Amino acid sequence: GDVVLGVDRLKFETLLERQKALHGARLDTDLGASALRELVRQYKALVLKETGKPFPEAPLQQLRMAIDAVFNSWYGQRAVEYRKIYGIPHTWGTAANVQAMVFGNTGDRSGTGVAFTRDPATGERRFYAEYLLNAQGEDVVAGIRTPHPIAKLKQQMPKVYRELERIYKKLERHFRDMQDIEFTIQDGTLYLLQTRTGKRTARAAIRIAVDMVREGLITKQEALLRVDPSQIDQLLHPMIDPKAKAQVIAKGLGSTGAAVGKVVFSPERAEEWSRRGEKVILVRHETSPEDVGGMHASEGILTATGGLTSHAAVVARGMGKCSVVGCGEIRIREQEGFFSVGDLVVREGNPIALNGNTGEVILGAVHLIKPEPDADFLTFLRWADTARTLGVRANADTPADAAQAVKFGAEGIGLCRTEHMFFGEGRIPHVRAMILARDEGARRKALEQLLPMQREDFLKIFQVMNGRPVTIRLLDPPLHEFLPKYHEVLQDLTRLRLTRGDPDAIRELETLFQRISELHEFNPMLGHRGCRLGITFPEIYEMQVQAIFEAACACKRQGKRVLPEVMIPLTGTRQELADLRALSVRTAEEVMRRERVRVRYLIGTMIEVPRAALVADQLAEESAFFSFGTNDLTQMTFGYSRDDAGKFLPRYVEKGILPGDPFASIDAEGVGQLVQMAKERGRKVRPDLKLGVCGEHGGDPRSIAFFHQVGLNYVSCSPYSIPVARLAAAQARLKEVKSQKSGVKSQE
């Protein structure tokens, strides 16, 4: 046994235990003495054969070898790689603690057990322990014998129990945290083998933290640092019942809770089935903006391609829905109505489950647990708000999202994507008419149809946000995203021509295909999108700005407060921004003059292409705020397409070439330099430049710590990530204060 306390902890392994692990044998204490002797003989023979030396019999030599084994484990390949990935210095070294052996299996006055000082599942303040008489530690852990609840020990060995009670309380007071304790009783004497901070569920973590503050054991600041922000997510989404038996059939990249439903292969089917009350999981090769309706109707989304920031993952997270993306093992045969994994076939209508925490795809329906945030949770997050200096906004495109965001504590909208509105019911025909328009006149006519719809969208969002800032990004995606897909139209056209279809239908499809071909791009990510659309089709941006300000004026006239922030996407040069800023100001002022209402507003830009960071000083002269679009900035700085990186990124992380997926946690070393640079250059020109982040990193605790450290004003993330962000922001600030106090930072 071992008790090793400290930053780093490695199991004290005896040579025998190593051999067991090596040969897969189990040492069963219930074996008869002769069988045991036989086993020992076999082991010794094995040791001789494998190492060329007899089993060391001298206890001191055994001890030395055991100690060496611990120290050598520091240099094991996996340990070295682990440290590399997590940036732990190799110079730290490890520790070995040597203690006398005690035996819990000497008879009925002996025993062994494990204990938690509070309930690790609920956080309730009660002693939660189990034990076995006449047994060693492994027997409790291995699950062969069923241990007794600790209450029984109180009857069986009251003295031992009282002592244990005294000790566990003392340990918890000493370490000021819930402890996970291992103990052994040898002939009526209690020995503590180990104590360490106990693992706990998210719910327990918060309850324990809040209780301990109330008990005066820890400060609010300490409490805030006790809960891992990434755990918070568990409290907001359903999760798979840990007791459920799950037949995992494939694995991809998961996000957000869990989902159970029947497999459907098209968004139309998803909507149709969902309308008649079925719970469905949408299974697609990948998703695109036109699938949003179907995604909304589904419980979860499973895709064969894409990474954690692919369309499917991003949109699903935004909706608070579970997704598993980039699941390359599944082969989808939409037309045949099934998908397969190896030989296994899953048909449309078959139930499956997705586990967003693990990325697992599970065959059949499993039981989900849906936790409810309780009063402790709300208290805890309020403490976080008082501790943090970094603002937290939401990415929200609809009034419903906005309301959800406010409920979760958003201080504003950091990213309202206008393109999702273009896919709304009754809109796509006008959007397509606009795109297919051959001249500005026809385009303006189509835009006129869209104007009142956009205005209505914005008005409702402004009403919900009631004076909180709302950053609206002007149209960003390339226009071909609003048209049917190139391949599909090509396929339809080939089919129609071969089957001598209706000539009118063919002609119409040809015209459509012609336009789709013209708009087709080799690298849409680097194509005709963002402010490049605003420069080439200024009438689109004019319509959007007009809608924003007509909505703002209407909102103000209703007696509500309103603060629109117009955001120009994908800027790379000063002149782009100057032109579109002028267009926006002109349009805004025109509307306000006409409406005889004045609203405060800001015009700013996103920093998404590396060049924007390099010329941030120039951009700051034309911009009241910068919002870092770290998804795109990561794509372009690394040269990784988020939709394609699934082909090599997992290998990169596996091989330790990258510490992790840079779309999940910001690459501080590379992309972070550009963020830092843009901040410095921008603030030099405009000291009050407002700085935020609206990429997926806005909801990632490690990234949030980085953004806090750089000195941004706020992060913006999907509504369901807001609690996580509030806590992560608080922790970033508390750690900063701590390191400033200890002077470690300033001394180095």
Residues that are catalytic = 311, 694
Region near a second copy per CB under 8 A, out of 87-95, 554-562, 566-574, 719-727: 566-574
Q: Annotate each residue in 234-273 with x if it binds a second copy (CB under 8 A) or - if it does not, as one string.
A: ----------------------------------------
Region near a second copy per CB under 8 A, out of 51-59, 312-320, 551-559, 628-636: 628-636
Q: Is 329 in the site for a second copy (CB under 8 A)?
A: no
How many residues touch a second copy under the rule CB under 8 A: the total is 56
Given the structure tokens 């007794």, which residue do they identify? 148
- Give the C-alpha separation, 533 to 476, whole Å: 8
Q: Is 617 in the site for a second copy (CB under 8 A)?
A: no
Q: Is 511 in the site for a second copy (CB under 8 A)?
A: no
CB of 631 to a second copy, least distance (A): 12
Q: Is 540 in the site for a second copy (CB under 8 A)?
A: no
- Give the C-alpha separation, 625 to 681, whole Å: 13
Candidate residues 245, 498, 503, 687; the one interacting with a second copy per rule CB under 8 A: 498
Structure tokens at 505: 């239908």
Q: Is 575 in the site for a second copy (CB under 8 A)?
A: yes
Cβ closer to a second copy: 233 or 579? 579
DSSP H or E run through 240: strand 239-240
Instruction: Find out whether 181 and 168 touch, Cβ atoms under 8 Å.
Output: yes
How many angstroms separate the first and last alpha carbons of the chain? Answer: 39
- Give the C-alpha separation, 549 to 597, whole Å: 10
The length of the chain is 748
Q: Is 342 in the site for a second copy (CB under 8 A)?
A: no
Q: Smallest Cα–Cα separation from 525: which of 607, 585, 609, 429? A: 609
Region near a second copy per CB under 8 A, out of 38-46, 114-122, 374-382, 602-610: 602-610
Cβ closer to a second copy: 254 or 672? 672
CB of 481 to a second copy, least distance (A): 11
Candidate residues 293, 349, 364, 524; the one interacting with a second copy per rule CB under 8 A: 524
Candidate residues 12, 131, 625, 640; the one interacting with a second copy per rule CB under 8 A: 640
Candidate residues 656, 684, 739, 744; the one interacting with a second copy per rule CB under 8 A: 656
Beta strands 469-473 and 413-417: pairing type?
parallel
Beta bridge partners of 470: 413, 564
Structure tokens at 309: 């920031």
SS3 at position 251: strand
CB of 575 to a second copy, least distance (A): 4
CB of 185 to a second copy, least distance (A): 51
Task: Centre a 10 Å sphere on the Cβ of residue 5 and count the other Cβ atoms it contains.
Answer: 11
Cβ closer to a second copy: 356 or 530? 530
Provide the Cα torsion 508, 512, 518, 524; round to 10°. -170
Q: Is 609 in the site for a second copy (CB under 8 A)?
A: yes
Compute the chain's Rg from CA coordinates. Answer: 31
Q: Is 608 in the site for a second copy (CB under 8 A)?
A: yes
Candidate residues 289, 467, 501, 610; the one interacting with a second copy per rule CB under 8 A: 610
Cβ closer to a second copy: 367 or 507? 507
Cβ closer to a second copy: 240 or 509? 509
CA distances in angstroms from 597 to 50, 454, 561, 594, listed in the order given: 87, 19, 12, 8
Q: Is 289 in the site for a second copy (CB under 8 A)?
A: no
Instruction: Find out whether 664 and 640 touch, Cβ atoms under 8 Å.
Output: no
Cβ closer to a second copy: 60 or 498? 498
| Helix orientation angle between 440-465 and 538-557, rounded to the nearest 10 degrees | 30
- Give the C-alpha separation, 490 to 516, whole Å: 10
Region near a second copy per CB under 8 A, out of 159-167, 383-391, 416-424, 636-644: 636-644
Q: Is 340 in the site for a second copy (CB under 8 A)?
A: no
Q: Is 536 in the site for a second copy (CB under 8 A)?
A: yes
Order across the sheet with 351-355: list the strands: 247-251, 360-363, 351-355, 258-264, 280-284, 300-303, 322-325, 253-255
Region near a second copy per CB under 8 A, out of 170-178, 484-492, 592-600, 737-745: 484-492
Q: Is 657 in the site for a second copy (CB under 8 A)?
A: yes
Q: Is 86 in the site for a second copy (CB under 8 A)?
A: no
Burial 513-552 (b: 16+ CB within 10 A, else e): bebbeebeeeebeebebbbbbbbebebbbbbbbbbbbbbb
Q: Is 614 in the site for a second copy (CB under 8 A)?
A: yes
Q: Is 63 in the site for a second copy (CB under 8 A)?
A: no
Cβ closer to a second copy: 535 or 597? 535
- Give the C-alpha separation, 591 to 80, whole Å: 63
Cβ closer to a second copy: 379 or 573? 573
Backbone angles phi, psi at 73, to 5 degrees: -60, -25
Instruction: Find out whether 358 and 367 touch, Cβ atoms under 8 Å.
Output: no
Cβ closer to a second copy: 86 or 522? 522
Structure tokens at 532: 């490049």
Q: Is 77 in the site for a second copy (CB under 8 A)?
A: no
Cβ closer to a second copy: 467 or 524? 524
Structure letter (DSSP) for residue 147: P
Candidate residues 167, 369, 615, 624; the one interacting with a second copy per rule CB under 8 A: 615
Q: Is 528 in the site for a second copy (CB under 8 A)?
A: yes
Candidate residues 490, 506, 597, 685; the one interacting with a second copy per rule CB under 8 A: 490
Q: Is 27 in the site for a second copy (CB under 8 A)?
A: no
Task: Centre a 10 Å sphere on the Cβ of residue 200 and count the other Cβ atoms it contains.
Answer: 26
CB of 523 to a second copy, least distance (A): 4
- Give the C-alpha separation, 512 to 506, whole Å: 10
| Helix orientation angle between 538-557 and 574-595, rounded to the nearest 10 degrees | 40
Burial of 641 from C-beta contacts in 10 A (0-12 / 13-18 / 19+): middle
Q: Is 635 in the site for a second copy (CB under 8 A)?
A: yes
- Give the C-alpha separation, 133 to 156, whole Å: 10
Structure tokens at 180: 């996970």
Candidate residues 299, 643, 661, 696; the one interacting with a second copy per rule CB under 8 A: 643
Candidate residues 499, 500, 743, 748; the one interacting with a second copy per rule CB under 8 A: 499
Q: Smallest Cα–Cα separation from 515: which of 423, 442, 417? A: 442
CB of 496 to a second copy, least distance (A): 10
- Give the C-alpha separation, 311 to 292, whole Å: 10
Contacts to a second copy by CB under 8 A: 486-487, 490-491, 494-495, 498-499, 521-528, 532, 535-536, 570, 572-573, 575-576, 579, 608-611, 614-615, 632, 635-641, 643-645, 647-648, 651-652, 655-658, 667, 669-671, 673-674
